[in-house]
A and B are shown apart, each in its own frame.
Chain A
Amino acid sequence: MTTAAATAGRRTAKAKPATMAQALGRALRDSMAEDPAVHVLGEDVGTLGGVFRITDGLAKEFGDERCTDTPLAEAGILGAAVGMAMYGLRPVVEMQFDAFAYPAFEQLASHVAKMRNRTGGAMPLPITVRIPYGGGIGGVEHHSDSSEAYYMATPGLHVVTPATVEDAYGLLRASIASDDPVVFLEPKRLYWSKADWSPQHPTAVEPIGRAVVRRPGRSATLITYGPSLPVCMEAAQAAVEEGWDLEVVDLRSLVPFDDETVTASVRRTGRAVVVHESTGFGGPGGEIAARITERCFHHLEAPVLRVAGFDIPYPPPMQERHHLPGVDRVLDAVARLQWEADN
């Protein structure tokens, strides 16, 4: 995996407020400028710049052969990307919304994920599949799915999801530079989150597969990613008043999974809550809780808990606030860890 591309960048004095959407667009632009093999394709990515404007300006700068408006067919888009990658290109595919990536799942599971393996390493596919995912933006049906468990359950794919503006840039650069296929899940409700950031301001990005401790703490660990990170940060802040010192781990990468960081944190704190908005049953949290239990059993003061979305199809927008795990649900779970204040 090339990390040089992800960490490259010239230092300038001043960082300006930027959104995650801008950082993603900048990552695409810089990747395309650096490597003529990088091609962007998808629905409305050209003239319109994508429905979220992530690809804004790319067609103008690089031409419509490098940033291509395709026919409206997700399997066709990803299938064509497979062939393009077979011929030495590095396609970056945009799926318009989470649930509209499902027609392409066959291509993803049967070909994208397996080509390296099927060919005994002779034919890796450097494809990045960008998928806006998750709720919280008041989208109608099929516009708010958390589909990460499907991709996690498919060996051969990397599955990453940024939660900060810096990571959006760095992880996308690393994904495009990776010779393995990456499902790049973009938490759409964080698209407009801001940070003082400019791509000239170097952000050191670790290789795909490293979690990061966003907030150190001693009493319990909140393990989360993507759209639920701000929720957990807020919960940790609120918990301080009650004398709780919560550590927050941002996974960033669901596959590969950073057992090391997670295990070290939970061994330190002795308690863990996994937080995500995807469903609980069969969701990522079950896997994560099992891994923690296997590795930290003797360090645990309480069972590993999960705070997840309900096991229901994603609800209509006027009801989604009931489904999405918020700060209170996280704090309730922390309370259920049978907190015994030692500080």
Chain B
Amino acid sequence: MTVQELPGAAAYRPTPPPAWKPLTDPAPLLPDPEPYRVLGTDAVADADPGLLLRLYAELVRGRRYNAQATALTKQGRLAVYPSSTGQEACEIAAALVLEERDWLFPSYRDTLAAVARGLDPVEALTLLRGDRHTGYDPRAHRIAPLCTPLATQLPHAVGLAHAARLKGDDVVALAMVGDGGTSEGDFHEALNFAAVWQAPVVFLVQNNGFAISVPLAKQTAAPSLAHKAVGYGMPGRLVDGNDAAAVHQVLSEAVERARSGGGPTLVEAVTYRMDAHTNADDATRYRGDSEVDLWRDHDPVLLLERELTGRGLLDDAGKEEARGAAEAMAAQLRERMNADPVLDPMALFTHVYEEQTAQLREQAVRLREELDAENDQHGTDGGAER
């Protein structure tokens, strides 16, 4: 029995106090019951072939990047890598819909989005490599630091977008979060702030089925994560996260709405995490091969490849070209990651405060002495060791 069917429920209508009126009409905010698709549907006729080919090349490169980074963990070159294999369509679309002046707020899984936005692949990996927390200047690239605590980057995106609008800049912030992250308080607070402030933000939830081992059913009782938007007074959009053309279109519309003053949007992209949570996780403990195999048929690279070849836009030579470019990127990444980074232990003290405190100066002197003593003993250069 639903609430509607309860005896007396239909008759009861709360009378709002006179000053209260709803700001928003819920009807246009509601997501469609089925994820929006472009590939393999009539909608694809409107898709720009140039864009589809661009997406394809980026997807192939992204897939290779994930494989290479995962391989680097096995060689001990990366401390950890949360692969986004299977989720490349979301990662790439997130990067490609943004203008240069816009900002991306990625989570720890979104290295690929940062790279697709143009960040140096090695700089993008410094966090996961373990030599520095953020290997790039966020302002120069308009990419916030990859965020490890779940959902905490979302209110930052709202604040930044709000500040940009106050300054009169038509800048949009796109913030990425996982399905598990939608349960965090910061997710709620960010969406609420964004809607109240009508901030130019797009929230992209990559629903990849799991938060480490916990399936979506244990994360939420909502009909979809996109439905959550309605309660805040913003549109919720549900999209097939493995359909690159669809994700690109839905995000573009959301970015456009934000830029033109239409406020925030919550986009849920339904996708699947093909690899384990990270290289340190054992996915066989919580899911079977058959489930993974079902998704193999709905792989984002495959879907796009089928569409492009079916329409005569891509032949074997084209595929080969995309793979070749990806292979070259991987070779370069391998080579650069195999060089030991130059670390400066004294840098530990340089960026805690603008000016070092007396206490930090003392501690820096102590470390310097320890390093000098080590050098005397081993004859190594303590200032630039791994």
| A residues adjacent to B (C-beta < 8 A) | 1, 39, 65, 70-71, 73, 75-76, 78-89, 91, 103, 106-107, 110-111, 114-124, 155-156, 158, 178-180, 209, 255-257, 259-260
Asked if residues A119 and B162 are in contact (CB atoms below 8 Å), the reply is no
Among the stretches B131-139, B326-334, B372-380, the one at the interface with A is B131-139
CA distance A115 to B139 in the complex (A): 12
> Chain B's nearest CB lies how many Å from the CB of A288?
13
Contact (A76, B134) CB under 8 Å given A84-B160, A257-B359:
no
Interface residues on B, range: 35 or more
Which residue of chain B has the shortest Cβ distance to A178 in the bound complex?
B354
Contacts of A257 in B (CB 8 A): 357-359
| Assembly CA distance A207 to B162 (angstroms) | 32
**Residue among B188, B196, B354 making CB contact with A1, cutoff 8 Å:** B354
Q: Verify if B347 is at the interface (C-beta below 8 Å from A).
A: yes
- Pairs of residues from A and B, 9 with the lowest C-beta to C-beta distance, nearest first: A79-B155, A83-B159, A76-B189, A80-B159, A83-B160, A256-B357, A87-B163, A118-B133, A83-B156
Does B155 contact A80, Cβ atoms closer than 8 Å?
yes
Contact of B149 among A65, A70, A110, A116 (CB under 8 A): A110
B167 sits at the interface (CB 8 A): yes
Is B352 in contact with A73, judged by CB distance below 8 angstroms?
no
Instruction: Say yes or no: is B94 at the interface (Cβ < 8 Å to chain A).
Output: no
Pair A87/B347 contact, Cβ less than 8 Å: no
Contact of B353 among A78, A82, A89, A158 (CB under 8 A): A158
Does B308 lie at the interface of the complex (its beta carbon under 8 Å from any beta carbon of A)? no
Establish whether residues A180 and B358, one from each chain, have CB atoms under 8 Å apart when the complex forms.
Answer: no
Please determine whether A119 and B145 come into contact, CB atoms closer than 8 angstroms.
yes
- Shortest Cβ distance from B350 into A: residue: A121
- Bits for B353-364, please: 1 = Cβ < 8 Å to A, else 0: 111011100000
CA distance A48 to B155 in the complex (A): 25
Closest Cβ–Cβ distance, residue B16 to chain A (whole Å): 19
Interface secondary structure of B, over-half rule:
helix
The docked-state distance in angstroms from the alpha carbon of A91 to that of B158 is 14
Additional pairs, 16, CB under 8 Å, beyond known A73-B192, A84-B159, A115-B145: A71-B196, A75-B155, A75-B185, A76-B189, A79-B152, A79-B158, A83-B160, A83-B173, A84-B162, A84-B163, A85-B159, A87-B167, A111-B152, A120-B132, A122-B137, A256-B359
- Asked if A260 contacts B358 (CB within 8 A), the reply is yes
Number of A-B pairs, beta carbon distance below 8 Å: 145
Question: Shortest beta-carbon distance, A20 to chain B, in Å?
Answer: 27
Name the contact of A86 in the complex, choosing from B132, B138, B167, B352 (C-beta under 8 A).
B138
Residue in B closest to A73 when the chains form the complex, CB atoms:
B189
A119 to B137, CA, bound (A): 7
Q: Which residue of B lies closest to A78 (CB)?
A: B155
Query: Does B218 sit within 8 A of A, measured CB to CB?
Result: no
Task: Tell me the residues in window 189-206 of chain B with beta carbons closer than 8 Å to chain A beta carbons.
Answer: 189-190, 192-193, 196
Shortest C-beta distance, B9 to chain A (Å), equals: 30
Contact A88 B133 (CB under 8 A): no
* Contact indicator B355/A76 (Cβ below 8 Å): no
Given the interface contacts A158-B353, A180-B354, A259-B359, does A123 sit within 8 Å of B138 by beta carbon? yes
Chain B residues whose C-beta falls within 8 Å of the C-beta of A70 in the assembled complex: 193
- Cα distance A178–B166 in the bound complex, in angstroms: 22
- Residue numbers in B under 8 Å from A156 (CB-CB): 352-353
Once the chains are docked, how many angstroms separate the CA of A81 from the CA of B167? 15
Asked whether any CB of chain A lies closer than 8 Å to the CB of B311, the reply is no
Cα of A158 to Cα of B370 in the assembled complex, Å? 28
Given A83-B158, A119-B134, also A155-B352 (CB < 8 A): yes
Q: Which of B139, B155, B193, B354 contacts A122 (CB 8 A)?
A: B139
Q: Is the CB of B139 within 8 A of A259?
A: no
Q: Which of A84, A106, A117 is close to B351, meaning CB atoms less than 8 Å apart?
A: A117
- Closest chain A residue, CB of each to CB of B146: A118
Minimal Cβ-Cβ distance residue in B for A79: B155
Choice from A87, A91, A110, A180 contacting B152 with Cβ under 8 Å = A110
B255 to chain A, nearest CB (A): 17
Q: Let me know if B186 is at the binding interface, CB within 8 A.
A: yes
Q: Point out the residues of chain A lying under 8 angstroms from B79, CB to CB.
A: none
CA distance A83 to B147 in the complex (A): 13
Whether A80 and B354, one on each chain, are in contact in the complex, defined by CB atoms closer than 8 angstroms, is no
Contacts of A107 in B (CB 8 A): 152, 155, 186
Identify which of A1, A110, A118 gathers the most chain B CB atoms within 10 Å of its CB.
Answer: A118
A1 near B355 with CB under 8 A, answer: yes
Per the bound structure, the CA–CA distance linking A76 and B160 in Å amounts to 12
CA distance A226 to B330 in the complex (A): 58
**Known A75-B155, A76-B189: A118·B163 in contact at CB below 8 Å:** no
- In the complex, the answer to whether A87 meets B160 with C-beta atoms within 8 Å is yes
Q: Within the complex, what minimum Cβ distance (angstroms) separates A333 from chain B? A: 26
Q: Is the CB of A117 within 8 A of B186?
A: no
> By the criterion CB–CB under 8 Å, are A79 and B186 in contact?
yes
